[in-house]
Amino acid sequence: MMDTEANTWKPGARELQSSGIANLMRAFDLTRYDDLLELSRSHPDRYWQVVMQHCGIVWDTPPRGYLDPASPREFPRWFPGGRLNWVNTVLAWTNDPRTRDQAAVVAEREDGKDQAVSYAELGTRVRQFAGALQALGIGPGERVGLLMENGIEATVSLLALASLGAIVVPLFSGFGVDAIVARLSAAAAATAIASTGFSRRGKRINVERTLREAWARLPALKRVIWKQDDTTQAAGTRDLDWQEVMASGTGRLADPVTLGPDDPFMVIYTSGTTGKPKGVVHAHGSFPLKIAHDAVVHFDVAPGDVFCWPADMGWIAGTLVLGCALLRGATLVCYDGAPDYPNWSRMSKLVERHQVTHFGSAPTLIRGLSSNEPLATQGDVSSVRLLITAGEGIDPEHFCWFQRTFGRGTQPLINYTGGTEVSGALLASVVVRPIPPSGFNTTSPGVDVDVADASGAPLTGAVGELVIRQPFVGMTQSFWHDAERYLDTYWRTIPGLWVHGDLALRRQDGAFFLMGRSDDTLKVAGKRLGPAEVEEIVLELREVAEAAAIGVDDKDKGQRLVVFVVGVAGCDVDADAVATRVAGHVDKRLGRPFRPSAVHVVNQLPKTRSSKIMRRVIRSVYCNTPPGDLSSLDNPASLDEIRAASDGSHRHKA
């Protein structure tokens, strides 16, 4: 077992005196972080007024207050009387002498080519592309699909659309036809901006073919603006070329339009366990403010920093990462390829090439890097000042490995969790407090987060639901044209509280730990267990690279525990022996009632493109029940092994 205290990171003089959170505390004339946290909950109006000034948020008309008191708690109206467009906060850096000539966006492709634009150039391109889109009739309220790999064109497109008051509908680059149709039809999008394709492990992925097939089922879609490669050309009168559209904006630069804080700029769809995807609505006066706040408070981002967190533009992380860098005057480094191509040295060498100061990674990628340490650590990562991990739970061993290697054992690793519906963090860490391995050392200031039992009473020292007790900046306005589903999803489980769907544990010392999703909860012989508790223990074994724990219905126990594991590459161990050792290790650590009834050794686990393990899909396929929306699944072949495990042809003794 790990010595948690010995591996707890502790702040030094720089973090305590010069970090973003330390400077924000001084703006309030406070010396204790606890006092800042309390002020953010008890006086949110004052807190957000100072935060917005500190973060340089640009308002065309300053708001009269923090929250319209007449608005319902489920549908709050933020910053009454204020007028803004969040893109103006980004464009302010284009005229700042500190950042005008600094790289704003660097885009590295999988083939090694890269391009960069300065803040001054970015400002011109955004206004020029906005002018061209405006000439096409795109304006406030129009929904526009965005299906592009991370990079300069995607960044310009998103900012230009938001500047016009249009509503971006991000689409995952790995979506199939049905997923695209479901989202663009639900949003009634009349325009899409898309790449014809991209590279993945050296192979061309044809996005155009998929989108054209979807287009045939989208009567409302009038046009597609294609970012094309050298081998494709626009095929019809409704097809436009991205570069030609950009060129047509020369001489008609468009400044951002002035909007209300509650005017939406994005409808982003998330997959549920059942039913159609949920269209999460985010507005100009909420999501970007929360992201700018988190970039200062949790990520310590300042002008001149170099921020890299590879993320698909189709998920919330794409816009979050873009905002963290560009709202703070930092350089955004984009990478659109496989993180292990041409080998596992890619990420560390990317850090070295671009002198990255802030590097983020999903836990699954961290585990892959750890399993290939000699290659993964070839690059010089001495430029890194802060690390981030998010997307799912991470075990202490891999948390510490990432901090010890990419962070050189001296730089902080921020565990960060929130979700599509809440913009940024609910739980995270700050660099003025010690950071326990795999834990969170704070709730995010400005969000009244708690751990509660089924009645809503606070819990400490026991696993409970992660809840939010008050409306908060960053929360979705609702689901697009589906307010009842929004209320059912978040507000009606425990009346009066936002129930987020995560299980969490708060220790006596105030540290928090995620214990898995509520719908992933295991209840074996009447005992409640989060999948993360099992997986962390399994991942202690040197021959196991990845693990997923699920609960399967059992007439005697209610549920029985089933574990899927992926072995470490190059570790030549018999699968039956691995299964036996996993079962025995869980038995020893958690007790006999929690011994897995089966352990399955597979080559891969079902994951999203952003590397989240899809436990609900594993459970559904294994139990032969409908798997729900599979549009975000990146590796469909993984399901074959799950099915084989279910029918006994891929079983190992436990």
Q: Across 226-235, 254-263, 595-604, which has the greatest mean pLDDT?
A: 254-263
Q: Which pLDDT score is estimated for 217? A: 95
Query: pLDDT category, 612, cuts 50, 70, 90?
Result: confident
* DSSP string for residues in 229-278: -TT----STTEEEHHHHHHHTTT---PPPPB-TT-EEEEEEE--SSSSPE
More confident: 82 or 551: 82
- Assess whether pLDDT exceeds 50 at residue 274: no
Between 287-297 and 20-27, two packed helices, what is the crossing angle to 10 degrees? 110
Sign of the CA dihedral with 294 first, then 297, 298, and 304 last:
positive
More confident: 205 or 263: 263
Query: pLDDT category, 273, cuts 50, 70, 90?
Result: very low
* DSSP string for residues in 407-476: TTTTS-EEEEB--GGGSS-SEE--TTS-B-TT-BSEEPTTS-EEEE-TTS-B-SSSEEEEEE-S--TT--
* Mean local confidence (pLDDT), 48-75: 97
Q: Given the DSSP bridges, would you call strands 463-468 and 498-506 parallel, antiparallel or unpaired?
A: antiparallel
Name 168's bridge partners: 144, 266
- Assess whether pLDDT exceeds 80 at residue 523: no
Query: pLDDT category, 646, cuts 50, 70, 90?
Result: confident
Name 458's bridge partners: 452
- Out of 13-27, 224-238, 309-323, 613-627, pick the least confident: 224-238
Encode burial over 405-443: b for 16+ CB neighbours within 10 A, e otherwise.
bbbeeebbbbbbbbbbbbbbbbbbbbbbbbbbbbbbbbb
CA 294 to centroid of chain Cα atoms: 13
* Mean local confidence (pLDDT), 147-151: 95
* Mean local confidence (pLDDT), 325-343: 96
Q: Which pLDDT score is estimated for 563? A: 96
Please state, as a whole number, how many other Cβ atoms lie within 10 Å of the Cβ of residue 61. Answer: 12
The amino acid at residue 96 is: D
Q: Which pLDDT score is estimated for 393? A: 82
Q: Which pLDDT score is estimated for 648? A: 65
- Assess whether pLDDT exceeds 70 at residue 125: yes
* Mean local confidence (pLDDT), 170-179: 85
Nearest alpha-carbon partner for 28 in 10, 11, 44: 44
- Assess whether pLDDT exceeds 90 at residue 440: yes
pLDDT tens-digit readout, 552-597: 987 666 788 999 999 987 666 688 999 999 999 988 877 777 889 9
pLDDT tens-digit readout, 201-240: 889 889 999 999 999 999 999 999 999 976 555 556 799 9
Nearest alpha-carbon partner for 79 in 388, 544, 473: 473
- Out of 123-127, 423-427, 586-590, 603-607, pick the least confident: 586-590
Residue 177 per-residue DSSP state: H
- Assess whether pLDDT exceeds 70 at residue 42: yes
Q: How far apart are CA 243 and CA 226, in angstroms?
A: 9
Q: How far apart are CA 377 and CA 369, in angstroms?
A: 8
* Mean local confidence (pLDDT), 137-166: 97
**What phi and psi, each to the nearest 5 degrees, are found at residue 479?**
-95, 145
Q: How far apart are CA 320 and CA 323, in angstroms?
A: 5
> What whole-number percentage of the chain has pLDDT above 90?
76
For 484, the 3-state DSSP assignment is helix
Nearest alpha-carbon partner for 144 in 177, 183, 175: 183
More confident: 536 or 602: 602
* Mean local confidence (pLDDT), 318-336: 97
CA 434 to centroid of chain Cα atoms: 24
Hey, what domains does the chain have and what are their CATH numbers? 521-646 (3.30.300.30)
What are the tokens at 327? 């709202």
Round to the nearest angstrom and report the end-to-end CA distance of the chain: 22
Q: How far apart are CA 109 and CA 342, in angstroms?
A: 12
Q: How far apart are CA 56 and CA 48, in angstroms?
A: 12
What are the tokens at 152? 């300069």
More confident: 328 or 650: 328
Computed over every residue of the chain, the mean pLDDT equals: 92
Q: Which pLDDT score is estimated for 271? A: 65
Q: How far apart are CA 253 and CA 160, in angstroms?
A: 11
Between 287-297 and 316-326, two packed helices, what is the crossing angle to 10 degrees? 60
* Mean local confidence (pLDDT), 326-351: 96
Query: pLDDT category, 526, cuts 50, 70, 90?
Result: low
Nearest alpha-carbon partner for 417 in 466, 452, 460, 369: 466
